[in-house]
Amino acid sequence: MAQVVDRLEDAGVIRFRVYRSPRDSNLILASWQHAADENGMGSIGQSQLGTPVEIEYQRAIREAAEYGVPFVWVDDPGGLFPPAKRPTP
């Protein structure tokens, strides 16, 4: 039977969203949030505004490993942070 979830975090996924800085088109940024606890509420970790994508990627991967989150979904429809440019976890 399929399980229905209302948030990606409930499915064991951290969404890592890649975007271009609105102030500096040469700067690629990312946002992510891990917001789950034993009660399904509370923020555990999140990105810091203005931090380069490579650093946030490493932070999100560490967060997933520390809290047993099996997947980090790189949501990058613009191809701004392709797999070949991502640091090895």
- The reported pTM is 0.80
* Residue 89 counted as domain residue: no
Which residue, among 72, 25, 27, 79, has the nearest Cα to 54 in the 3D structure?
Answer: 27
Interacting residues of 53 by C-beta distance below 8 A, sequence separation 6+? 18, 28, 29, 30, 80, 81
* Residue 32 counted as domain residue: yes
* Residue 68 counted as domain residue: yes
State pLDDT tens for residues 37-85. Answer: 555 555 578 788 888 999 999 999 998 898 888 889 899 999 999 999 9
Tell me how many domains the chain contains.
1
* Residue 83 counted as domain residue: no
State which residues form the domain around 51.
8-78
* Residue 65 counted as domain residue: yes
15 — pLDDT class (breaks 50, 70, 90)? confident
The CA distance from 40 to 77, in Å, is 29
The CA distance from 47 to 66, in Å, is 16
* Residue 50 counted as domain residue: yes
State pLDDT tens for residues 66-77. Answer: 888 888 989 999
Confidence at residue 67, expressed as pLDDT on a 0 to 100 scale: 85
* Residue 2 counted as domain residue: no
